[in-house]
Amino acid sequence: MTTLTVTAPRAPARLGRFVLDRFRPRIYVTYGLLWVLALEGSAVSAAGTAWRPSAATGIRVISVVLALLFLRMLDEQKDLAHDRVHHPDRPLVTGAVTAAELRGAMAVVAAVVTGLNAALSTAAVLLVLAALGYALLLVPLERWCPAVRDRPLLGLAVTYPVQLLLGGYVYGSLVAAGTVTAGPGGALLLVLCAGVFLHFEFARKTAWEAAPGAGLYSAALGPRRAAAVTVGFAAGAVVCEILLFAPRGLLALLPCAPAVLAVHGARRFLAAGRGGWPMLPAAVFVAGTHLALTALAVLR
């Protein structure tokens, strides 16, 4: 009881430091914001309706950002054994934050997200909680099947659906609200967003050399094949953009322009023959594509 009394008042400050260290709001919040604006705006404009951000948009943005924070807190606990060996400076390893504090914060996040989406629809609540619930299921799954944790490609195949479910939440909540009608265009839009995200995901884990415990995709595929897959995801996103927006004219091809950065990143990586994939072009590709999609929705 004494320990609880002493540590409880300090928990918000400790969690705040954890967020700044491991969540990096300028990255995660920016990504969540741009992703939701691009997905919602594209879904609405593709349906032939003028789009402007609304209060419901704000709820979706906050919900996705909080869900990303929930996932970050969960990953920190799942990776504890690995971090003790390879990342001894992480907050949970050093005791800067405790697992109990992270679990308490996750419960608060889930409650806030539920309350926010109750203002939209029951379907929105169920969809966002489905994403969080799937993430929680990964904890026992990785315990029962170590290969999910130890084999990067298998781990990606199993964990990526969390992102897909979050995209489905944004789109599904629009359908539930009657803003858009469900159709093949929605599936294509989710595939587009997947290509954008997976380009960056593969880029950050592709390198010519693999340090112990790095869990690189290039360690399993080889650097050149990993580079081809990385560019392939960007190319897949461009194909989706053309299928969705080309009928609107040349301006609608604006979201394809950032793909030049994916090609530039690949050329630099292959020409260097050492080191990792240049992350700046990959990050700007993600931000640029989402910004272009949002601009296209506003300009319709």
Token output for 102: 């992270």
Token output for 49: 């309706």
223-245 vs 25-46: helix crossing angle, rounded to 10 = 40
pTM (predicted TM-score): 0.93
CA distance linking residue 193 with residue 162, whole number of Å: 13
For the chain, 300 residues long, give each residue's pLDDT as a single digit of tens: 434 444 566 888 999 999 999 999 999 999 999 999 999 999 999 888 889 999 999 999 999 999 999 999 999 999 888 888 888 899 999 999 999 999 999 999 999 999 999 999 999 999 999 999 999 999 999 889 989 888 999 999 999 999 999 999 999 999 999 999 999 999 999 999 999 999 999 999 999 998 776 789 999 999 999 999 999 999 999 999 999 988 777 777 888 999 999 999 999 999 999 999 999 999 999 999 999 999 999 987
CB 136 within 8 A of CB 110: no
The CATH number, out of the four listed (3.30.1050, 3.40.50, 1.10.287, 1.20.120), of the domain defined by the range 183-300: 1.20.120
CA distance linking residue 109 with residue 31, whole number of Å: 18
CB 99 within 8 A of CB 26: no
CB 186 within 8 A of CB 245: no
Fold of 6-180: Tetracycline Repressor; domain 2 (1.10.357)
CA distance linking residue 216 with residue 208, whole number of Å: 10
CB 244 within 8 A of CB 219: no
User: What's the pLDDT tens digit per position in 163-220?
Assistant: 999 999 999 999 999 999 999 999 999 999 999 999 999 999 999 998 776 789 999 9
CB 176 within 8 A of CB 121: yes
- Tell me the domain boundaries of the chain: 6-180, 183-300
Token output for 244: 């969705």
Nearest residue to 240 (alpha-carbon basis) of 191, 298, 279? 191
Tell me the Cα Rg of the chain: 20
Largest Cα–Cα distance of the chain, in whole Å? 68
Give the DSSP letter string of 140-205. HHHHH-HHHHH-HHHHHHHHTHHHHHHHHHHHHHHHHTTSS---HHHHHHHHHHHHHHHHHHHHHT
For residue 276, what are the β-bridge partners? 207
Map residue 207 onto helix, strand or coil.
Answer: strand
pLDDT in the model for residue 8: 60
